[in-house]
Amino acid sequence: MLTRRRFTLSALTLVFIVNGPNFRVKDLSFRLAAEARASVNQFPPPAVDVRRAPAPEWLAPYREPAARLIGESIASDAAWQRLAYLGDTFGSRLSGSPNLDAAIRWAVDEMKRDGLENVHTEPVKVPYWVRGRESLEIVGPIPQPLVMLGLGNSVGTPPAGIEADLVAVRSFEELEAARERVKGHIVLFNVPFTTYGETVRFRTNGPSRAAAFGAVGALVRAVGPAGLRTPHTGTLVYTEGQPRIPAATVTTEDAARLQRMLDRGTAVRLKLTMEARFLPDADSANVVGEIRGRERPDEVIVIGGHFDSWDVGTGSTDDGGGCVATWEALRLMKKLHLRPRRTVRVVFWTNEENGGRGGLAYRDQHETELSNHVMMLESDGGVFRPRGFGFSGSEGGRVKVREIATLLASIDADAIGPSGGGADIGPSVQQANIPAMALEVDGNYFLIHHTPADTVDKIDPEDIARSAAAIAVMTYVIAEMPERLK
């Protein structure tokens, strides 16, 4: 549970002014505590060493603009307020929905109001899946409703729903072993969450694997840590040649309960009703805004997130926060009159969640300029307390990025992880071998991922301000330094 802290111009800002950006806040509290202890016995107190991150000489000219970007960002809750407005006003933003269209128009207007340059949309045709009404109930032994969410891109059921007995499995191996019992049944994949990569395959592939043995419906235990009876939606992928059966997610609690009932030998009969269907492909767009480079405008640093979200919650963590934090990086540069040597471009991709067409369209529409993409950064892991960035690229590039990150030691965002990238920048990065980064944060992202609980109150204003600051500094220095990041 996160609590909202009062957000004011803090002692942290003063620390910056006095000590510069290499000072760590935890050093301050350590020093004060040490001084308090020392002062009991000795006056004047002995000098205390304050640890400073080593920073290479070449960074000297960037120290002052970095301190201003960080100071400006953490002195206000502008990013959080903008994210709150986005979620409160437009709600969820599934591809094809009028909500996403309205949010895109708003973002264009707001970017122009911020003074960003070359603000425009780039058209993308997107799949338009709609959930409709849906329900899951235990029919017997005693009728009662369960909490559920249909999986994205699932087919629906006939209007009267499907009714069938339940079979539960804990792995694909158990499914194989139960193949004779699966025909005509609803299959529950009751797989405890370990990591997203490990567990998500039951959501993605489970329905078709069950359909191959004759199942008529599939249920998947929530792909996320145990919450408060929270269902997690997300896409499934139907395998060519297998029957397409309707599929939904149930909560950790309900999956465990259904398992207990079966383990006691109780026959559980379920009724699944879903109106889910695809409408014809819809018009959508990627949103683009820039600060044009003052010397090499053709060389571009791209940062951004995906603007679409699932149709539950308000997509504040996934991925409104990534969009707003990267956008904020440009707004901060503009406000502080920092126009770097190269162009900085923010992109809000569309349709990451159930098609990935925004990232593909960006690659195709910018094919001729991809060789001038110096670096691409995606923020799609939440805007919790930033730790630093993941980086994928050359060893020389990694050394540079590590050095730049020392400018972020004061906000503890100076770690560089082994790999960076994202679903939306992936197609471009692969095609042109572009150095790729991702914001890395400490937070319980998968607790609220794809759930109705993905709302702005889970995000701390200080965390998104620090995330924006980290992105702004990293991006500014890469755009400004004389030699191109390799």
Helix (H, G, I), strand (E, B) or coil at 91: coil
How many Cα neighbours within 13 Å face the side chain of 169?
24
- Shortest gap between Cβ of 156 and Zn ion (angstroms)? 25
- Shortest gap between Cβ of 350 and Zn ion (angstroms)? 12
- Cβ proximity to Zn ion, 319 vs 460, nearer residue: 319
- Cβ proximity to Zn ion, 80 vs 445, nearer residue: 445
What is the distance between the alpha carbons of residues 187 and 165, in angstroms, rounded to a whole number? 9
Tell me the angle at which helices 78-90 and 321-335 cross, rounded to the nearest 10 degrees: 140
- Cβ proximity to Zn ion, 350 vs 406, nearer residue: 350
* Active-site residue, selected from the candidate residues 290, 299, 328, 352: 352
- Shortest gap between Cβ of 424 and Zn ion (angstroms)? 9
Give phi and psi for 19, each to the nearest 5. Answer: -110, -10
- Shortest gap between Cβ of 319 and Zn ion (angstroms)? 4
- Cβ proximity to Zn ion, 93 vs 131, nearer residue: 93
Which listed range, 240-248, 249-257, 319-327, 449-457, lies at the site for Zn ion (CB under 5 A)?
319-327
- Cβ proximity to Zn ion, 134 vs 319, nearer residue: 319
- Cβ proximity to Zn ion, 380 vs 462, nearer residue: 380
Q: Is 36 exposed, middle or buried (0-12, 13-18, 19+ CB in 10 A)?
A: exposed
| Beta-strand relationship, 373-378 and 436-442 | parallel
- Cβ proximity to Zn ion, 328 vs 380, nearer residue: 380
Q: Which residues contact 385 (CB under 8 A, 6 or more apart)?
A: 412, 441, 442, 443, 460, 463, 466
> Do the beta carbons of residue 285 and residue 350 sit within 8 Å?
yes
Asked whether position 378 contacts Zn ion by CB under 5 A, the answer is no
Which listed range, 196-204, 264-272, 317-325, 335-343, lies at the site for Zn ion (CB under 5 A)?
317-325
Active site includes 352?
yes
Starting at the earlier edge strand, list the strands of the sheet with 385-392: 117-130, 277-291, 342-349, 296-306, 373-378, 436-442, 385-392, 415-417
Which listed range, 30-38, 204-212, 223-231, 377-385, lies at the site for Zn ion (CB under 5 A)?
377-385
- Shortest gap between Cβ of 352 and Zn ion (angstroms)? 6
Q: Which of 380, 424, 454, 463 binds Zn ion (CB under 5 A)?
A: 380
Asked whether position 319 contacts Zn ion by CB under 5 A, the answer is yes
Asked whether position 480 contacts Zn ion by CB under 5 A, the answer is no
- Shortest gap between Cβ of 371 and Zn ion (angstroms)? 27
Please report the DSSP string for 310-362 in residue order.
-SSS--IIIIIHHHHHHHHHHHHHHHTT---SEEEEEEEES-TTTT-HHHHHH
Which two three-digit tokens encode residue 307? Answer: 């603007």
- Shortest gap between Cβ of 440 and Zn ion (angstroms)? 15
- Cβ proximity to Zn ion, 157 vs 309, nearer residue: 309
Asked whether position 454 contacts Zn ion by CB under 5 A, the answer is no
Strand partners for 189: 169, 220
Q: Taking the mean position of all CA atoms in its chain, how far away is CA 187? A: 30
Which listed range, 38-46, 269-277, 372-380, 433-441, lies at the site for Zn ion (CB under 5 A)?
372-380
Give phi and psi for 430, each to the nearest 5. Answer: -70, -40
Which listed range, 48-56, 57-65, 130-138, 312-320, lies at the site for Zn ion (CB under 5 A)?
312-320
One-letter amino acid identity for 266? T
| Beta-strand relationship, 269-274 and 162-169 | antiparallel
Q: Taking the mean position of all CA atoms in its chain, how far away is CA 65? A: 28
What is the distance between the alpha carbons of residues 466 and 463, in angstroms, rounded to a whole number? 5
Total chain residues near Zn ion (CB under 5 A): 3
- Cβ proximity to Zn ion, 299 vs 319, nearer residue: 319
> Do the beta carbons of residue 351 and residue 358 sit within 8 Å?
yes
Q: Of 86, 120, 80, whose CA–CA distance to 308 is shortest?
A: 86
Q: Which of 72, 318, 414, 454 binds Zn ion (CB under 5 A)?
A: 318
- Shortest gap between Cβ of 338 and Zn ion (angstroms)? 29
Q: Of 131, 136, 150, whose CA–CA distance to 271 is shortest?
A: 136
Long-range contacts of 197-202 (CB under 8 A, 24+ apart): 199/223, 200/234, 202/172
Which listed range, 22-30, 213-221, 378-386, 433-441, lies at the site for Zn ion (CB under 5 A)?
378-386
- Shortest gap between Cβ of 305 and Zn ion (angstroms)? 7
- Cβ proximity to Zn ion, 217 vs 304, nearer residue: 304
Binding pattern to Zn ion, positions 57-96, x when CB under 5 A? Answer: ----------------------------------------
Determine which helix (DSSP H) or strand (DSSP E) holds 446, and give its type and residue range. helix 445-448
Asked whether position 27 contacts Zn ion by CB under 5 A, the answer is no
- Shortest gap between Cβ of 379 and Zn ion (angstroms)? 9
What is the distance between the alpha carbons of residues 211 and 355, in angstroms, rounded to a whole number? 22
The residues assigned a catalytic role are 352
Residues near Zn ion (CB under 5 A) are 318-319, 380
